[in-house]
Structure formats: C-alpha cells, structure tokens
Structure 1
Amino acid sequence: MDNIRKIIHVDMDAFYASVEQLDNPDLVGKPVAVGGNRERGVVAAASYEARKYGVRSAMSGKMAALKCPHLIFVRPRFERYKEISNQIREIFFEYTDLVEPLSLDEAFLDVTENKFQNPSATLLAKEIREKIKLKTGLNASAGISYNKFLAKTASDINKPNGQAVILPKEAEAFLEKLPIEKFFGIGKVTAEKMKKFGIHQGKDLKEYSLQFLTKKFGKSGLHFYNIVRGIHMSEVQPNRERKSISAENTFEKDLPTQAEWEDALKGVFEELMRRIEKTGIKGRTITLKIKYKDFTLQTRSKSFDQYPDKEKIWETVLELLNQERLTDAVRLFGIGISNLNLLEEKIHFGKQLWFEFEDF
C-alpha cells in the first residue's frame, strides 16, 4: 500500500479525574470518581487508581463504592473540563485544520499534509503530547495509523501516557490477533453473540463471509467484514454535525421486573443528563431503546414542539416504557434525544483523498 493517510487519535488519560487531581493535589495518587456518590448517581470518570479496583465510567456510584470502599467522589465541573479541552484543541490546530473532536477528551487529526510539513506522524504525535503536558499539566496517549479505526485502537495500546503506531504492513497480523471485543463497533453483547459462532479474535472473524455476517448482524455485517481487513474509509470530518445525544447500558444480568427496569433506566437517564449538560444541547425528540434477552431490538419515540426540560424528559422516558407491555426480560436500555437545537447542515462526503509518503 503506497498511498495512505496519516491519522492520529489523541485521547486524554482519565481526563475528568486527572483534571480534579491536577487542581487538588490532595487527590493525587488516590482513587477518585467524578460524578455520583455512595448511594446513587453514575460515575462519569474514574482515576487510574480507582480503575485498579474495577471502577469504571457509567457504573453506579453504589457499585463503585462497593468495589472500592475508600473511593473519593467529587462533583463534576464541566466548565473547567471545557476550558482545558479548548486549550488542547488549540494545540491540535497548530498542526492541522483537519481535526474531528469526538468528545472533550479525544479527537482525530489528519496530518497527512500538516502545517509543519513533517512527514512523520509518529513524531508529530509525540510533539503534540508534549505540548499538551506543558500547557495543561495533563497526560495524553496517542495512536497513529492509516485509518481512524486503527488509530483509535492504537491509542489504547500503551495507555496511560504513551503512544503506538500500527503500520500498513503490520495491520493484517495485528488485527488477526486482536480480541473481538476490541474492534470498533463491537460491544459486549455483539462480542458474546460472535463468541457463540467461535469468533474470539480477528482471525476467527476473517474466516466468515460477507453473506454470513450480513445475515447474522444485519447492516453491521459489512462493517465487521471490512474492519477486520483494515478497511475503514471514513475521513476525518472537521465539521461533523451531531445528530443526537444518547446513553445506554448493557446489564450484567437480564432484568425481568418493572422495578428493575425503572431503576436501571434511572442510571441511563442520569448519564444522558450528564452528556446533555456537558454539551449544552437540547432535543425535541426523546427515544427509548430496548434490547431484550433474545437480542430483539425495539425503539419508542415521542416528539415535542418545544425542547423538554430534565423533568419532562424523565417523565417521557417512563411514559415510553409503559406505552405497551415489554415482551421479555431486558438486557439493554438506551435513552437518546434528537431533533437538536443545532443548525442542520448537510455534510458532503467527497472522494477518498490519498497522498504518497514514505515514513510514519
């Protein structure tokens, strides 16, 4: 492959928790959870010290406290996180205008043609991480490859405070050894379904035909067929328009009762509210996503003329839950808002652009 792109995925290390430790030295080296408390709420982020005990984002505060009894809970400060995120983004734009933010703490950069005319994406990533550390005091990890999926996968390899590159010639062998749950677009539920077919690693997935994958996984089958072969043609989109905001959770055990459904939905709802508060975005359509234990998927939606507030959203979620009787035990709930208060601009996806270079 002579003509390929150079993509960097930069991912801040335990961003919210690291900001709290930066601003409060008493928290350094201690297990910290941002968001939630010992009785209720949802963890928005966990420090690496907390992760050693199994504390993860989107986990209930009650469960997090059980896993780590000496866990320190702090209230999220999204304005502070946005402030530092903007500083980091300014660094990105010093190198390229092709920046696609995924959230406050991660972004894709296309540095195939960059403002420093540096042919080495690896050296650029190292420079960017050093500048972030100098300007903010925070650590970032990075992944470098020829497409977004591989770059994002690479950024996890040497976390925290590291980077990794997946060269074109290494991609096939790397993907064959990659555990199936590490593939982009393959969540816990899909991974479990694949394992029933004997698909545990990329090499197993590669043995199945496009026809089989499409039959078993619908439209996602084509995506799975491509990514295991290192094919992911999505370009870095600096003007990507958000169409919706959502949160969902797959449960450790299937939930059969009304009380369990409402309790589980409350956790998903609180995570959605956190994301809405973080972005300041509102939506006129509320959607409830239900996945049953047999993987059957159902969605229920309701739209409003005005943007509903927090209380109205929760009221609507319960209304959608009880709109008609659920047919089985539930393994996943998701809540989303769409018809956002953003100017909808049509995105034109142009032809794939390729550039020649020698070094990564």
Structure 2
Amino acid sequence: MPHAPRAIIHVDMDAFYASVEERDDPGLVGKPVIVGGLGRRGVVSTANYQARKYGVRSAMPTSEARRRCPQAVYIHPRHERYAAISAVVFDVFAEYTPMIEGLSLDEAFLDVTGSLRLFSSVEVIGRRIKDSIRERTGLNASVGMAHNKLLAKLGSELSKPNGFLVIRPDEVRGYLDPLPIGRMWTVGKVAEEALHRVGIRTIGDLLRADAWRLNKAVGERHAAQLRALCVGEDERPVVADAPEVSIGAEWTFDVDVDDLAIAEAWMLRQCERVGARARGRDVKARTVAVKLREPPFVTHSRQAQLPVPGNATPDIYAVARRLLNVWWHQHPRPRLRLLGVTLSGFDARHGDEQQDMFAAPAAEKRSDGVQDRINERFGAGALVRAGVLKTRGRE
C-alpha cells in the first residue's frame, strides 16, 4: 500500500544577519549592508539584496566587497544577537510541529505531515509560519513547500526574496527541467564541469541524455542517483533534534600575533563566545579543540578533554590556554594569523542530573550567568573578563 505523501516545509530567512541589523537600526533600510569580518583578511557573512546588486556574495573577501560596493555599510557580526532572533523563529516552528531539522540559525526543514489534520493544507501552515515570523521579528522568511526536502528547498530558493512557493507533484518537471545542472543537490563544481563537457547543462538535458554519456561524466553510481533527483525523488527524512556536533569561534588577525599574552587574550575572548553559546543551548562539552594558523596558511589543531563535561568559560579557557601554550613553546618563532576554539562531544543537560564534586565552583557558574544575562540585554561584549580587554582596539 503506497504511503501518503509527506508535507515538508523549508524556511530560509532572507539575508538574515543584514536583515537583523536593519531591524535594529532602521536608518540602514534601503542602503547596501554587508555583515562580515572588517579587517584585511575578513570575509563576507551576509550581504543584503541591495549589496548583491553589485555582485557581493557570502564568503567573498571583504576587500573584494569593498572594491565592488565601497558605499555599503559594513558591520561586524553580532552572533549572540542573531542567535536570540533565531530562537524566536524556531519557537514559531515548534508551534506547528516537533519535527524540525535546523540547518543553521536561519534555515530549517519542517515535516508537518502530522499537522495536516489540524490545518487544511501545507500552504496554510506555511503562510501562518511566514506571517508569525514577520509579526514577532519584523523579518521576512522565504518558505518552500513540497512532498520532499529537495523540492521544498527549491521552492524557497526560486521564490526569494520574501518567497512563498508550493511545488506539487504534477509541477515538478516544469520547475526542474529548465534549471542549470549545477543547481542540483550533489552536483559540485567538478561534476558540473564534467557534465558540461558531454553537453549536459540543464536538469532537462540530463534526463534526456543517454546512459553512456551520463555514466562517462559522473560514473554509474552517481548517474543513477542524479536521475532520481532530477525527476524530483528524495526520500531523506526530516531529522528532528539532531544533536549538536560542535560549537566554534575563531578570529583572523589583520596583523600576525607574535605576543603570547595577546594570543591568550584572544583565546579567552573566543572561549567566552563558545561558552555562552553552549550555555544558551543547554549543552555540556567533553572536548575542547584549538585551531592555530601560522602565516601564510599552515594550520595546526590540538584538542584535549575537559575533566568533566561542562560549559563554564573558566574551565574551557583552562584547557584551551594549556593547548595554546604547549604549541607556542614548541615553535622557535611562533606567529598566528588565526586562532579559534571549538567545543564538541556534547551531553544534553538535565535538571535532575547528579552534580559532580569536581564541577566548576558555584561562584564561577554565577559569574557566567550574570555575564550571559548582561550581554543578552545590552549586546555581545558589553561585559567581558578583564583578560579580554587586551584585544580591544585590535579588531
């Protein structure tokens, strides 16, 4: 007996970081806004649609963005602020289904199949979600709806910005066939170039291609997968409550750091960031890893275990600082272009869990809590540890 069709929604916030900045400062509305690293080695995190008209894109070096759009307003990311707005958006999702697969702060898949008994259609749910996000945050979300993840995501992409599109089973070929083959999931640059060499440039071209040509370009296994995807088949489930894999923060320096005290101050700054995020998500980490990049691009990674799983900044910094010091003293002329710290190996926290006698002292936990509340209210960096002050003026 065939399964009833699923109802999948893909929600993607439009130019999320830049839109939050415009929301908080209405004077930015109508101007090109670019959020990203502001130094010589910075990269663009998000550009609003006014800036994209000049060819500015995410992951572009900020220096290139400045050449293309010198009149833009350039803003350093406020990750804690974006996380707070994201939490409001995900609260909206939870009102319609527990089946939420978050892909990032601003993007998620929702399986609302079980909610159709309460609402007349997937479009009704999608419209309610879109309107609720707008009412509670002042931001636009693009919403795609279909019977699988591939097509739901395509719906949000094709209708951006401020999009709303449902792709029904009998409309799949009409939407897919004209699209460049590089738009298809699993087709990277190498596969795209190989397909172009055998005359396959659109999804429709691939479906019309003979097996020999397609197998020659990408191999028999990938060819079979692509044929299924190109007719809109996708059985991937929405994976709810996917465990957090890692939480990281890093910084690329405009001028290489050759002073250990300054490097330690930057390490503390990153530990404050990841600690706050871990506490905000109510998870405890087992592993602390540091990322150390020498100029020009030689990257070293070191990691160690916390004595007990935790998320207190002093505990994280103690491990990260030790790893940094060991690496530093192993090199005759240490210099850093980039420094980062990542937490992983998470245990979900439970209110009734037994307290470990070796856990961080209550005073340290209280200081983290006070710092988190002040920074949440007044903005990231409003309250920092004294050691971080050495990084001020060096951004």
Tell me whether the two structures share a fold, i.e. TM-score over 0.5.
yes
Number of equivalences: 286
More helix per residue: 2
Kindly indicate whether the alpha-carbon contact (under 8 Å) linking 1:213 and 1:224 is maintained by their aligned counterparts in 2: no
Residue correspondence of structure 1 range 1-360 to structure 2 within 5 A: 3-37=4-38, 39-114=40-115, 117-206=118-207, 207-209=209-211, 212-213=214-215, 216-217=218-219, 220-243=222-245, 284=289, 304-306=303-305, 340-343=344-347
What are structure 1's unaligned runs of at least 5 residues?
247-272, 289-299, 320-335, 345-360
Deviations 1:126-146 (A, max 9, x none): 111111000000011110111
Q: Distance in 1 between matches of 2:241 and 2:300?
A: 28
CA distance in 2, matches of 1:228, 1:83: 37
TM-score by length of 2: 0.63
SS at match of 1:185: coil
2:195 and 2:214 in contact (8 A); partners too: no
Does the 8 A contact of 2:289 with 2:320 survive in 1?
Answer: no
Q: Tell me the SS of whatever aligns to 1:305.
A: strand
Measure how far apart 1:221 and its partner are.
4.2
The structural deviation recorded for 1:239 is: 2.1
In 2, Cα distance between equivalents of 1:283 and 1:115: 43
Code of the aligned partner of 1:101: G
Q: How far apart, CA to CA, are the structure 1 residues paired with 2:234 and 2:107?
A: 19
Counterpart Cα distance in 2 of 1:337 and 1:232: 36
Which secondary structure state, in structure 2, belongs to the residue aligned with residue 164 of structure 1? strand
Counterpart code for 1:30: K
| Structure of larger gyration radius | 2
Q: Whole-Å Cα distance in 1 between the matches of residues 304 and 222 of structure 2?
A: 33
Instruction: Evaluate the alpha carbon distance shift between residue 285 and residue 190 of structure 1 in structure 2; reply closer, same or farther with a 3 A threshold.
Output: farther
Question: Does the aligned pair in 2 maintain the 1:35–1:44 contact within 8 Å?
Answer: yes
SS of residue in 1 equivalent to 2:192: helix
Task: Assess, with a 3 A threshold, how the Cα gap between structure 1 residues 203 and 85 changes in structure 2: closer, same or farther.
Answer: same
- TM-score, with structure 1 as normaliser: 0.69
Runs of 5+ unmatched residues, structure 2: 249-269, 279-284, 294-298, 307-318, 332-339, 349-395
For the 8 Å contact 1:100–1:237, the answer to whether it is kept is yes
- Aligned residues with identical type, % of pairs: 39
8 Å CA contact 2:195–2:218 kept in 1: the answer is no
| SS of residue paired to 1:108 | strand
Structure 1 residue 340: deviation in Å? 2.7
CA deviation map 1:23-77 (0-9, x unaligned)? 0112111111111226330111111111110111111000000111112110111
Could you say which structure has the greater relative contact order, defined with CA pairs below 8 angstroms and 6 or more residues apart?
Answer: 1
Measured after TM superposition, the shift of residue 159 of structure 1 is 1.0
Native 8 Å contact 1:13 1:159 kept in 2: yes
Provide the C-alpha distance between the structure 2 equivalents of 1:166 and 1:210, rounded to a whole number of angstroms: 31
Q: Aligned pair in 2 of structure 1 residues 283, 5: CA closer, same or farther (>3 Å)?
A: farther
Contact residue 214 and residue 222 of structure 1 kept, 8 A: no
- Could you tell me how far apart the structure 2 residues matched to 1:37 and 1:219 are? 44
